[in-house]
Amino acid sequence: MGTHAYEGGRLNLPFVGISTFGKRPYVEDWATLDADVAIMGAPFDFGTQWRSGARFGPRAVREASTLFSFGHAGAYDHEDDATYLPASVRMVDIGDADIVHTDTERSHANIEQGVRAILQAGALPVVIGGDHSVNIPCINAFDGQGDIHILQIDAHLDFVDERHGVRHGHGNPMRRAAEKDYVTGLTQVGIRNVSSTAREGYEDARNMGSDILSVRQARALGPKGVIAHIPEGVRVYVTIDIDAFCPSIAPGTGTPSHGGFLYYDVLEMLQQLAQRHEVVGIDLVEVAPDYDPTGSTSILAAQVLLNFLGFIFHARAQT
Amino acid sequence: MGTHAYEGGRLNLPFVGISTFGKRPYVEDWATLDADVAIMGAPFDFGTQWRSGARFGPRAVREASTLFSFGHAGAYDHEDDATYLPASVRMVDIGDADIVHTDTERSHANIEQGVRAILQAGALPVVIGGDHSVNIPCINAFDGQGDIHILQIDAHLDFVDERHGVRHGHGNPMRRAAEKDYVTGLTQVGIRNVSSTAREGYEDARNMGSDILSVRQARALGPKGVIAHIPEGVRVYVTIDIDAFCPSIAPGTGTPSHGGFLYYDVLEMLQQLAQRHEVVGIDLVEVAPDYDPTGSTSILAAQVLLNFLGFIFHARAQT
Amino acid sequence: MGTHAYEGGRLNLPFVGISTFGKRPYVEDWATLDADVAIMGAPFDFGTQWRSGARFGPRAVREASTLFSFGHAGAYDHEDDATYLPASVRMVDIGDADIVHTDTERSHANIEQGVRAILQAGALPVVIGGDHSVNIPCINAFDGQGDIHILQIDAHLDFVDERHGVRHGHGNPMRRAAEKDYVTGLTQVGIRNVSSTAREGYEDARNMGSDILSVRQARALGPKGVIAHIPEGVRVYVTIDIDAFCPSIAPGTGTPSHGGFLYYDVLEMLQQLAQRHEVVGIDLVEVAPDYDPTGSTSILAAQVLLNFLGFIFHARAQT
Amino acid sequence: MGTHAYEGGRLNLPFVGISTFGKRPYVEDWATLDADVAIMGAPFDFGTQWRSGARFGPRAVREASTLFSFGHAGAYDHEDDATYLPASVRMVDIGDADIVHTDTERSHANIEQGVRAILQAGALPVVIGGDHSVNIPCINAFDGQGDIHILQIDAHLDFVDERHGVRHGHGNPMRRAAEKDYVTGLTQVGIRNVSSTAREGYEDARNMGSDILSVRQARALGPKGVIAHIPEGVRVYVTIDIDAFCPSIAPGTGTPSHGGFLYYDVLEMLQQLAQRHEVVGIDLVEVAPDYDPTGSTSILAAQVLLNFLGFIFHARAQT
Amino acid sequence: MGTHAYEGGRLNLPFVGISTFGKRPYVEDWATLDADVAIMGAPFDFGTQWRSGARFGPRAVREASTLFSFGHAGAYDHEDDATYLPASVRMVDIGDADIVHTDTERSHANIEQGVRAILQAGALPVVIGGDHSVNIPCINAFDGQGDIHILQIDAHLDFVDERHGVRHGHGNPMRRAAEKDYVTGLTQVGIRNVSSTAREGYEDARNMGSDILSVRQARALGPKGVIAHIPEGVRVYVTIDIDAFCPSIAPGTGTPSHGGFLYYDVLEMLQQLAQRHEVVGIDLVEVAPDYDPTGSTSILAAQVLLNFLGFIFHARAQT
Amino acid sequence: MGTHAYEGGRLNLPFVGISTFGKRPYVEDWATLDADVAIMGAPFDFGTQWRSGARFGPRAVREASTLFSFGHAGAYDHEDDATYLPASVRMVDIGDADIVHTDTERSHANIEQGVRAILQAGALPVVIGGDHSVNIPCINAFDGQGDIHILQIDAHLDFVDERHGVRHGHGNPMRRAAEKDYVTGLTQVGIRNVSSTAREGYEDARNMGSDILSVRQARALGPKGVIAHIPEGVRVYVTIDIDAFCPSIAPGTGTPSHGGFLYYDVLEMLQQLAQRHEVVGIDLVEVAPDYDPTGSTSILAAQVLLNFLGFIFHARAQT
């Protein structure tokens, strides 16, 4: 009796085949969605303030995810002695939200609609950006879904209220989230150096219930210590800006900032989180493959997402 | 009444969505194949003699093809005053043949199996390589399908018989084809300068029924004149090695050779061919995206294939 | 008495110094503008439908222009036996229009304001994009300046009226221009293959007074013949989409299309035009340096602009 | 009353506008220089022994510096709870020293002249290389300015006396500096692995008053411990070779060496230094953008310089 | 009397001259081989499961090695106060094993023949891959040479037995090695995350005498602690897959995996090993220069190899 | 009896082995030189006025030349029905002239010494640059060798006498050559657009016996017509600046200029020349591989050189 896909049909090497996320099935008709976790791309990048190109983030992360998609029945991790994402976890790729060039509001509305479709189907939504403004419609979609706490892993605070009329750019999402009554708090980790947020933004954030930790502060606390900052029992939405990571491993992004997290810093926070909290939604944003000639950034995004999903469903299976 | 897809549902910009060829439907189960034309990737590159990387050719050409895949009902060409590839041409993407690393014979067998499935379904097979050795199983699959003539558009003759035991590398396919009794002749266009084929290869080719034209000779004849070299009434299989083109527009390939064709040289030959002959199969090989930092080569491949398919089905519709 | 700048102060090699266009003076305060020609950047790219990144076009073209900016008193061309752009032509760089991320209308308004400032000062406006949608505010700025004819050199017709609410994207500018009562006609050259404009767009264009020529048609006419298509005596605004050129020399753009113009094709049209018509405004758009690893596209843009300006002021000096 | 530039005129996003350092004013006439700190480029690279290209360092660092140049009144750092480089710090960019190809001595003389102009104006000189040989004329310019101590942060000792007649290449600057009577000592940090300096060079350096620390030794000491090696009360000139950093974050340089510093290693040394010593001059050299496809190295250089300047003027403001 | 080559003839800068490894002599006729250490390239990459291109590894590592090959008599390391690889260590480059495209077995046989020639001459074999499957013929060549222990530094376990008939791909070498009776044990360090090896592979490895350590486990032990895992007195063959390193410093490889070793992690293990064990053979594999636009990976490979060889012959000289 | 090298020992694919030019023997000791043609690298680039990096030209052209170096006995060209460069043409690679950083005069002297050694041995010297200033020592080496005529194929006139003291930069070589009494004339082909040479330079050139042809003028004449401009019976030295070619095929150079030659333009001129004149020396300069991500420029240089050498020795064999 074969336990591995490759014993039957195809060897299905990473470089072979259509690039859906993790080479999982593509569900074009969102009305038929039936899965534990659904991946959607949000290839919107008009919200960037320096380098654009995050519109190609979803395609790049999908392609990179094939590296971790041998035809095995799940991924065995010898350090944890666990097989993550076995076939029993039903993961699908629902393609991309429709983006309308020149039109931020319409594009955001389409993203919100996609997340709502996933939530409607009872699946965990995982959105691949696109720039960080796509978090705004993602959080909008959680209206009526109960209270959530936001864990933001990012270099930048993204807490600008309004400037020159802009309220839905990639410098605004955390401010927009904090305004929601169903967002009960924010933990903002990795924040460092200069950004588009000025001193007032930091003061506002703290006043609106935010907990801000730099990379050095997070390292001093350790992964467990960081996660302990999140109130017990809350349901957590996680938004990962790839520029939270050090440009050494994530150069392919719009506004890189030196001094960022290394791989295990974030991996271990996510593993801790998965063990202690219900994770209700995820977005990973700002992968801009045109600045990623080695593929390192896309691979990081795929590796982090697949491991994080592994931790989440492993924890669910334990309970 | 809407005549364009974008009037209904989605704008579906080129940078949005899963990359199948031309954003056409993906058919995973080859037994259910029902289409006019079927695209298959053959991501095999162990047959290369200089730069490898053609294994990522199918993915790159698929992604590039999205540039020509706005949500229109067909592509209008004002020079020809024709709308090519209307929705009535049923085009599908059947994914890739399964490749087995280290094993040329097994990989080739899987490619042959895919082409056979397409032929079985009565669809026109279009194979995206992969290196030029993938032409060998493609031609094998035509065994029992009636006589064919081969039009090769290439920089290199690829007519080596055997060297150090190698008979199925990317220097051998035209020799292998010429050996088939159902291959009634070859027209080899674009051949120039040094290559892995020595003088004897040229003599053998001519002895085995091949007509060899260099780029300068083909230009002197003009597109009509070149196609007139193909015997009237034969059914034609077309194999396009992207290195037939000038490295100025097709640098992303394993063994570039200066002095190649420009775009209209080839486009007009293919348009002539489509008007005068039945085209029974196509492969386009040797796109190696790692040497194509601007995307120019992949875009060329997609643009040539989509136009060629447009010409073929436009001609079929006229008859 | 020295006739060359380098005899006095500095050698001023191309790689030395701040990158303004042609290393000409930077005028920050637009109210003080006093020049024959003024260059402005319009780094807006939310109007693109495939690859973005044209926001870095102005910086890249400025840097490339330094290659042609040795410390000479003008550029001697031995074929024409002319010294172009002598010091007597007062050329300045006024920097960039202010762009507001996420907000197309506000960004376009800022571009319009810049062009108006240049026109107000009696200088020839030269706008470097940015995507082709920046042509919309450029043409808007000509309201009240008398009738103009538009010469568009482009791969794409850009004549979409409205789709999903989009009227100011990079597929719309020529339609918007044709709607102006002060635009008396359009000559659209280089148009080829598929694009976002469908058959209706071509019909609309022709109905609204447009003359459409493909690359092959333009070559058959020759540069003189193409320019002869423009009605005698009209004042001409020239909009050059860099994708009018063949990807072999202009790969660094959002939506490349094979089969485009080579260098002399366009250079000679522009030289003809300068000799026969008053040129009242210029934009050159869609240079996306992230897809231009060799710098070839930016160099082309700078070389074309500097030569075109040379032709214009040389012609003015003759009269 | 607006405290931010963007409340008045322009949003001035990083990707908009002419690239001067930090988007600060460009002062072309050095005789009129009136500032607290003046940036000058020294685009000289004939002194390199492996990869050249540092001539484009100044342009690349200027462009990267725009990422940190939103239209804010200073940069707020939440870890230090400080706003660095407020408008009251008068920073200007004086462009580049004139470089004469093939002529090392003349190019160096022009660099020296620029630094002298800055010192003459009472401003802090910040020179962006160019290869490390540009440090030689920088130090020459300090003749008559009182005693200085040199803090070199670098992978290589650069202490070769003379070889094949070469005394002013990028392997010689620290030897040249040590020969000056106004250079009272050197602290050389980050030195590791093989380089052009042989054993005798190390012995000479120690004999001439140099203190040599490797990366591992510096880490063991900690930033405070390293800076404690510098004699109390000395005025310090800082020369930063970007190859002091790990190639993971600074690949864009002529002679990368693995095992280098990470971001906080250097940042914290510079912050310590600014708090304990008067900094009288800075150069940052060997950024070679052609080897920096992601921009990571240029961004690092800009981020380090802007933070270091922030620390220096913050410390000055405290006293 | 000169002790440095540059005092006599040539300066011989790194960018000058033919690229043999370390610019050491090229020995074309293997029958005449007489050296202490011999470098051979094994440019085979048909065994890869994602990105190919390791065939250009040997050329890239050779070119990078020139950076460390100034015309000095050995490389002085100030941390160790040692001059490594003095002229007395006779190092030669014997070129590449002959590779036969499409033919794994024949190519492997040629590699084995090369290693046998080196062993026959009594020199230390150092093989530069190529993909990790080239380790298979390397180990085969040790048949009859006495017992060896293998130290593998790698991200992946490479312990797949057979899949779809594949036994000699880059996922199989450690399994093939473990089957040899003269391989007395394996220490596998750096192993992490998902790979082509499933859970059974790990079980098999442990059952066949393997000791498996992840990056985090190895760091917790420290370099000394890791090397202490190797049984005392064994002769050690070292196989280094460059993907053992973090993609931050080694992006140029076929299957990068985040969370890898940094430079000193591995350097210090190798230094420990050289001091405690006889090293009888080395291979360094999976450098794929097409994914290494900055050269960082090739430089790492060259720097690690040259330092490791320095340690080995320094240790031999002590005894 | 084997007529091909591959029938005996090795297949010797292009990607295998040490990169000497054409994989021909490396002669390190110039005193022993005995050959028909000798290749020498001149990796000097301090003479450039925009982008440097030509120092890596020799290595890149050598590596590219391996593509044309299958293990055949000569290269068969079916258009000419000739086998070029059979084994009877003794071609060797003598490595590079020694370059001294910062020192133009010393580096040039070393280049001159290399060319003299080749001439002394009676071989045809072929020098691969480096920037165009390396032509100066090449021509110097012809002192005492009889009269020569120079055919320069280039975008730029390179006829600057002196500027800011520079007489030996890459803008000066043709002026320096014209000053020699043994240089009886110059034919300068491909010259176009602006360059560092001003109007006076053109006048001087014509006064000193130069014949100047632009690309368009050369095309109008045809290859035969261009070569007919060279006086009958003269011995010709050919200097090819790769920027003579269109940036579409030769982007990898310091100062690209659009509107250049395509492949056959130059190939056919060289073939004509070889048939009508004795060629006494060749240099090919300004290949800068850092701007050549696809390898297209290096491949062009190798392909042109190998074909040109083929033509020369084929013509010699006919006489």
Q: What pLDDT, on the 0 to 100 scale, is given for residue F5? A: 43
Instruction: Among F47, F53, F100, select the one facing D102 at the smallest CB separation.
Output: F47
Handedness of CA E57, E58, E59, E63 (dihedral sign): positive
Query: Per the CB < 8 Å rule, is F78 touching B212?
Result: yes
Q: Is D83 in the A-facing interface, judged by CB distances under 8 Å?
A: yes
* Chain D from 27 to 66: CB within 8 A of any E CB: 49-51
Query: Per the CB < 8 Å rule, is B98 touching A16?
Result: yes
Tell me which chains share at least 3 CB pairs under 8 Å with chain F: B, C, D, E
Evaluate if residue C72 carries a pLDDT over 60: no
- The whole-chain average pLDDT of chain C stands at 94
Instruction: Among A6, A77, A249, select the one facing E258 at the smallest CB separation.
Output: A249
φ, ψ at F237 (rounded to 5°): -100, 130
| Mean pLDDT within A70-78 | 77
How far is the C-alpha of A173 from the C-alpha of B319, rounded, in Å? 58
Identity of residue F48: T
Which of A258, A290, A296 to mutate to probe the D interface, most D CBs <10 Å?
Answer: A258
Query: Per the CB < 8 Å rule, is D252 touching E294?
Result: yes
Which of B194, B197, B202 to mutate to probe the F interface, most F CBs <10 Å?
Answer: B194
Which of C100, C102, C110, C134 to mutate to probe the A interface, most A CBs <10 Å?
Answer: C102
| Mean pLDDT within A3-18 | 75
Q: What pLDDT, on the 0 to 100 scale, is given for residue E8? A: 56
Helix (H) or strand (E) holding E114: helix E104-120
Q: Is D316 in the C-facing interface, judged by CB distances under 8 Å?
A: no
Helix (H/G/I), strand (E/B), else coil: F142: coil
Enter the tokens of residue B186: 């070859």
**Scanning every residue of chain F, which has its alpha carbon at the shortest distance from the alpha carbon of B200?**
F76
Contact B127, B40 (CB under 8 A): yes
Query: Per the CB < 8 Å rule, is E300 touching D252?
Result: no
Q: What pLDDT, on the 0 to 100 scale, is given for residue C199? A: 87
Q: How confident is the model at residue E71 (pLDDT cuts 50, 70, 90)?
A: low
- The 10s digit of each residue's pLDDT in B8-17 is 589 999 999 9
Evaluate if residue C216 carries a pLDDT over 70: yes
Query: Per the CB < 8 Å rule, is B14 touching C49?
Result: yes
Contact A114, A38 (CB under 8 A): no
**Scanning every residue of chain D, which has its alpha carbon at the shortest distance from the alpha carbon of F289?**
D290
User: Kindly report the CA angle at B279 between B274 and B282, in degrees rounded to 5?
Assistant: 110
How far is the C-alpha of C250 from the C-alpha of C260, rounded, in Å? 9
Q: How many CB pairs under 8 A join A and E?
A: 87
Q: Is F264 in the B-facing interface, judged by CB distances under 8 Å?
A: yes
Residue from C141, C122, C127 nearest C34 by CA? C122
Least-confidence region, from C75-79, C210-214, C233-237, F298-302: C75-79
| Mean pLDDT within A123-148 | 98
- CATH code for residues C5-318: 3.40.800.10
**Scanning every residue of chain A, which has its alpha carbon at the shortest distance from the alpha carbon of C49?**
A101
Chain E residues inside the 8 Å CB shell of D196: 70
Least-confidence region, from B13-27, D176-190, E114-128, F7-21: F7-21
Flag whether A161 is marked binding.
no
Q: What pLDDT, on the 0 to 100 scale, is given for residue E258? A: 97
Q: How confident is the model at residue C75 (pLDDT cuts 50, 70, 90)?
A: confident
- The 10s digit of each residue's pLDDT in F100-154 is 999 999 999 999 999 999 999 999 999 999 999 999 999 999 999 999 999 999 9
Q: What pLDDT, on the 0 to 100 scale, is given for residue B193? A: 81
Beta bridge partners of B96: B41
> What residue spans of A86-179 are helical by DSSP H?
104-120, 135-140, 173-178
* End-to-end Cα distance, chain A: 29
Higher pLDDT: A9 or E108? It is: E108
Annotated binding site of B for Mn(2+): 132, 154, 156, 158, 241, 243
Least-confidence region, from D53-67, D70-84, F36-50: D70-84
Q: What pLDDT, on the 0 to 100 scale, is given for residue C272? A: 98
Q: Is F86 in the C-facing interface, judged by CB distances under 8 Å?
A: no
CA atoms within 13 A on the CB side of D232: 0
Evaluate if residue C6 carries a pLDDT over 70: no
Q: How many CB pairs under 8 A join A and B?
A: 68
* Chain B from 184 to 223: CB within 8 A of any F CB: 191-199, 202, 212, 214, 216-217
Q: How far from C22 is each of C55, C69, C74, D94, CA to CA, in Å?
A: 19, 6, 11, 18
Q: What pLDDT, on the 0 to 100 scale, is given for residue A4? A: 43
Q: Is A166 in the C-facing interface, judged by CB distances under 8 Å?
A: yes
Residue with tokens 């959105």: A127
| Mean pLDDT within D174-194 | 95
Q: Is B164 in the E-facing interface, judged by CB distances under 8 Å?
A: yes
Q: What's the ipTM?
A: 0.97
How far is the C-alpha of D135 from the C-alpha of D44, rounded, in Å? 11
Q: What pLDDT, on the 0 to 100 scale, is given for residue C73? A: 66
Evaluate if residue F3 carries a pLDDT over 80: no
Query: Per the CB < 8 Å rule, is D95 touching C18?
Result: yes
Does 3.40.800.10 match the CATH number of domain B5-143+235-318? yes
| Mean pLDDT within A91-115 | 97
Q: What pLDDT, on the 0 to 100 scale, is given for residue C193? A: 81
Instruction: Among C20, C56, C100, select the one facing D18 at the smallest CB separation.
Output: C20
> What residue spans of F6-103 are helical by DSSP H?
57-65
How far is the C-alpha of D191 from the C-alpha of C214, rounded, in Å? 61
| Mean pLDDT within B244-267 | 98
- The 10s digit of each residue's pLDDT in F184-240 is 999 999 999 877 778 888 999 999 999 999 999 999 999 999 999 999 999 999 999
Number of H helices, E strands in chain C: 8, 10
Q: Is D95 in the C-facing interface, judged by CB distances under 8 Å?
A: yes
Q: How confident is the model at residue B70 (pLDDT cuts 50, 70, 90)?
A: low
Q: What pLDDT, on the 0 to 100 scale, is given for residue D5? A: 44
Query: Per the CB < 8 Å rule, is F49 touching D101?
Result: yes
Number of H helices, E strands in chain F: 8, 10
**Scanning every residue of chain C, which has its alpha carbon at the shortest distance from the alpha carbon of A56?**
C51
Q: How far is B68 from chain C (nearest CA, A)?
A: 7
Q: Is F286 in the E-facing interface, judged by CB distances under 8 Å?
A: no
Chain D residues inside the 8 Å CB shell of E299: 247, 256, 258
Query: Per the CB < 8 Å rule, is D256 touching E299?
Result: yes
Q: Is C299 in the F-facing interface, judged by CB distances under 8 Å?
A: yes
Q: What pLDDT, on the 0 to 100 scale, is given for residue A3? A: 41
Q: What is the DSSP letter of C202?
A: H
Q: What pLDDT, on the 0 to 100 scale, is given for residue D8? A: 56
Does 3.40.800.10 match the CATH number of domain A31-318? yes
| Mean pLDDT within B19-46 | 96
Instruction: Among F195, F248, F252, select the one facing C248 at the smallest CB separation.
Output: F248
Q: How confident is the model at residue E135 (pLDDT cuts 50, 70, 90)?
A: very high
Q: Is F17 in the B-facing interface, judged by CB distances under 8 Å?
A: no
Handedness of CA B172, B175, B178, B180 (dihedral sign): negative
Q: What pLDDT, on the 0 to 100 scale, is given for residue F87? A: 87
Q: What pLDDT, on the 0 to 100 scale, is given for residue A193? A: 81
Query: Per the CB < 8 Å rule, is F102 touching D133?
Result: yes
| Mean pLDDT within A109-125 | 98
Instruction: Among D11, D76, D295, select the one facing A198 at the smallest CB separation.
Output: D76
- The 10s digit of each residue's pLDDT in B93-119 is 999 999 999 999 999 999 999 999 999
Query: Per the CB < 8 Å rule, is E303 touching D193?
Result: yes
Tell me which chains share at least 3 CB pairs under 8 Å with chain D: A, C, E, F
Spatial neighbors of A200 by CB under 8 A, at least 6 apart, are none
- The whole-chain average pLDDT of chain A stands at 94
Contact D102, F104 (CB under 8 A): yes
Helix (H/G/I), strand (E/B), else coil: A95: strand
Evaluate if residue B25 carries a pLDDT over 70: yes
Contact E36, E90 (CB under 8 A): yes
Q: How confident is the model at residue E5 (pLDDT cuts 50, 70, 90)?
A: very low
> What residue spans of D250-295 are helical by DSSP H?
263-276
Chain E residues inside the 8 Å CB shell of D247: 249, 294, 296, 299-300
How far is the C-alpha of B147 from the C-alpha of B185, rounded, in Å? 9
Contact C261, C174 (CB under 8 A): no
**Scanning every residue of chain C, which has its alpha carbon at the shortest distance from the alpha carbon of F252?**
C294
- The 10s digit of each residue's pLDDT in E136-151 is 999 999 999 999 999 9
Q: What pLDDT, on the 0 to 100 scale, is given for residue D20? A: 97
Annotated binding site of F: 132, 154, 156, 158, 241, 243
Helix (H/G/I), strand (E/B), else coil: C33: coil
Instruction: Among D11, D62, D100, select the one facing C98 at the smallest CB separation.
Output: D11
Helix (H/G/I), strand (E/B), else coil: B219: helix
Handedness of CA A46, A47, A48, A53 (dihedral sign): negative
- The 10s digit of each residue's pLDDT in B203-219 is 999 999 999 999 999 99
Q: What pLDDT, on the 0 to 100 scale, is given for residue A71? A: 59
| Mean pLDDT within D123-145 | 98
Q: How far is D84 from chain C (nearest CA, A)?
A: 25
- The whole-chain average pLDDT of chain F stands at 94
How far is the C-alpha of A278 from the C-alpha of A234, rounded, in Å? 7
Evaluate if residue A16 carries a pLDDT over 90: yes
Enter the tokens of residue B310: 């447009």
Q: How far from D291 is each of A157, A246, D248, D296, E294, CA to CA, in Å?
A: 31, 19, 12, 10, 5
Evaluate if residue D2 carries a pLDDT over 50: no
F259-263 LR contacts (CB < 8 Å, sep 24+): F259/C263, F259/C264, F259/C267, F259/F192, F259/F193, F259/F215, F259/F216, F260/F155, F260/F190, F260/F192, F260/F215, F261/F153, F261/F190, F261/F215, F261/F218, F263/B246, F263/B258, F263/B259, F263/F300, F263/F303, F263/F304
**Scanning every residue of chain E, which has its alpha carbon at the shortest distance from the alpha carbon of F110?**
E10
Q: Is C294 in the F-facing interface, judged by CB distances under 8 Å?
A: yes
- The 10s digit of each residue's pLDDT in D265-310 is 999 999 999 999 999 999 999 999 999 999 999 999 999 999 999 9
